[in-house]
Amino acid sequence: MTSIILHMDGDAFFVACEISLQPQYRGLPVVTGAERSIITALSYEAKALGLTRTMPVYQVKKQFPQVTILSSNYDTYLIFSKRMFAIVRRYTDHVEEYSIDECFADLSHVTDPEVVALQIQKDIERELGITVSIGLGPTKVLAKIASKQRKPKGFTSFLKETNILNMPIRKVWGIGRSASAELTGASIITVKDFLAQNRAYLSKPHQTIWYELQGIKVLPVESTSDPQQSLAHTRSFLYPLKDKEKIWSELVKNIEAVCLKARKGDFDAQEASFFIKTKGFEYISAHIVFDTPLSDPIAITYFVKQRFDMLFQKNMLYRATGITLQKLVPRNSVASLFEIRTNSKLFDVIDKISHKHGEGIIKMASSAKQDLDKRPMAILSLGTVS
């Protein structure tokens, strides 16, 4: 039997959640992203003005004073997200949460998938005050294209036929900048051109797409999710920096932030990578393997510092730093023998104090240097790890 896959995509999701909670903004040009200095989502009214995702906020303020700029509230969107997926699960257990506002669902065994799709749309709008667009198709790739055909509140079915042959291949899920440049070079512009290729000459991911575009299912709906593999925290500077102390301090802030995330999620990391990014977008990075899993910024800072000193170059302008924790394991899964050495208990206490008095009340001396004039806080000096 043929498979029937649904793809659901939130319409202007972040902004839609805000408007659901603050209806006075409905019908107005609204964007989110104030806290990140670039636009992360836009209402359709804002799109109509010509604004785009990733446009700098200062530019919006200057050129479009009529646009409301809100901060993103990721935790709030997560709640909407969970409720939205719960509604889809009323109709099937086979739901793959693909991102915060997208999912796939396998409706192969559902009696009337089109009716179900429309019902899901209706339920979500009535119960959550946001809208979604839905596509149906025999494969994930086709369902994903279908949901994008009409937006917002669109519904498109590719179960019986598609009309995608003249669509630019670069629009297809999985064909990115690099591949589309290469394909364009070979005069492969449309889906039709792509399908005319001999499959044997395509890379493996492209073969998958080649099949899926023709309704031959390769990609399964994965309704069980794997545990998280990595955690990152990266920040760009307000303007390029060359001062080593300042750049180091920014990196330490990122280390503290990513460690806090790890402890919140009850993770320790066995490995980490950090980078400093030059003004010219070059990544200078290093990878570190810990001999025991860590989520302690003092220990991690100690290891990163040595590599940072080796990598840092004078008279170079940098624009960002970041760190990714990798090979995550459940926290404290390793014998408590190591606890003293990794400051595990210390950070339990710090997390408790922070919870009571506000995050950031306790910082490491190296990341606090620039904030001394702001507000009183305890300063923790860089401890030694022996």
Partner DNA sequence: TCTGGGGTCCTAGGACCC
Q: Tell me: does residue 307 bind DNA (CB under 7 A).
A: no
| Binding pattern for the stretch 26-65 against DNA, x by CB under 7 A and - elsewhere | ----------xxx-x-----------xxxxx---------
DSSP 240: E
Q: Tell me: does residue 261 bind DNA (CB under 7 A).
A: yes
Region of 85-93, 197-205, 302-310, 329-337 interacting with DNA (CB under 7 A):
197-205
Q: Closest separation between CB of residue 55 and DNA, Å?
A: 5
Distance separating alpha carbons of residues 5 and 216, to the nearest angstrom: 12
Q: Tell me: does residue 232 bind DNA (CB under 7 A).
A: yes
| Binding pattern for the stretch 324-363 against DNA, x by CB under 7 A and - elsewhere | x---------------------------------------
Cα–Cα nearest to 290, from 310, 267, 320: 267
SS3 content of the chain, % helix, strand, coil (to 5): 40, 25, 35
Region of 111-119, 168-176, 303-311, 342-350 interacting with DNA (CB under 7 A):
168-176
Q: Which is nearer to DNA, 119 or 223 (CB)?
A: 223
Region of 109-117, 232-240, 353-361, 373-381 interacting with DNA (CB under 7 A):
232-240
Of 96, 102, 250, 268, the one binding DNA by CB under 7 A: 102
Q: Order across the sheet with 41-42: list the strands.
A: 41-42, 30-32, 68-70
Distance separating alpha carbons of residues 215 and 212, to the nearest angstrom: 5
Facing residues of 232 across strands? 324
CA atoms within 13 Å, Cβ hemisphere of 190: 8
Please give the helix or strand (H or E) that residue 191 lies within, else none: helix 191-195
Of 233, 253, 263, 331, the one binding DNA by CB under 7 A: 233
Of 84, 298, 320, 380, the one binding DNA by CB under 7 A: 320
Task: Tell me, letter by letter, the H, E, C secondary structure of 200-238.
Answer: HHCCHHHHHHHHHHCCCCCCCCCCCCCCCCEEEEEEEEE
Q: Which is nearer to DNA, 23 or 330 (CB)?
A: 330
Facing residues of 380 across strands? 364
Of 322, 343, 362, 380, the one binding DNA by CB under 7 A: 322
Q: Which is nearer to DNA, 22 or 99 (CB)?
A: 99
Burial (0-12, 13-18, 19+ Cβ within 10 Å), 65? exposed
The single residue listed with the structure tokens 């107005």 is: 28
Q: How many chain residues are in contact with DNA, going by CB under 7 A? A: 47
Measure the CA dihedral 355/361/364/365, to 10°: -170
| Preceding peptide of 152 cis, ω within 30° | yes
Of 44, 64, 173, 338, the one binding DNA by CB under 7 A: 173
Q: Which is nearer to DNA, 286 or 379 (CB)?
A: 286
Phi, psi (deg, nearest 5) at residue 10 = -65, 140
Of 62, 126, 204, 356, the one binding DNA by CB under 7 A: 204
Q: Which is nearer to DNA, 99 or 381 (CB)?
A: 99
Facing residues of 203 across strands? none
Distance separating alpha carbons of residues 333 and 206, to the nearest angstrom: 40
Q: Which is nearer to DNA, 317 or 340 (CB)?
A: 317
Q: Closest separation between CB of residue 62 and DNA, Å?
A: 13
Q: Closest separation between CB of residue 279 and DNA, Å?
A: 8
DSSP 337: G
Q: Tell me: does residue 219 bind DNA (CB under 7 A).
A: no
Of residues 264-283, those binding DNA (CB under 7 A): 280-281, 283
DSSP 23: G
Distances in Å between the Cα of 269 and the Cα atoms of 224, 248, 308, 328, 334 are 23, 21, 19, 4, 12
Q: Closest separation between CB of residue 52 and DNA, Å?
A: 5
Of residues 116-155, those binding DNA (CB under 7 A): 144
Of residues 241-260, those binding DNA (CB under 7 A): none
Q: Tell me: does residue 382 bind DNA (CB under 7 A).
A: no
Which residues sit at the interface with DNA, rule CB under 7 A? 36-38, 40, 52-56, 98-102, 144, 172-180, 203-205, 226, 228-236, 261, 280-281, 283, 285, 287, 319-320, 322, 324
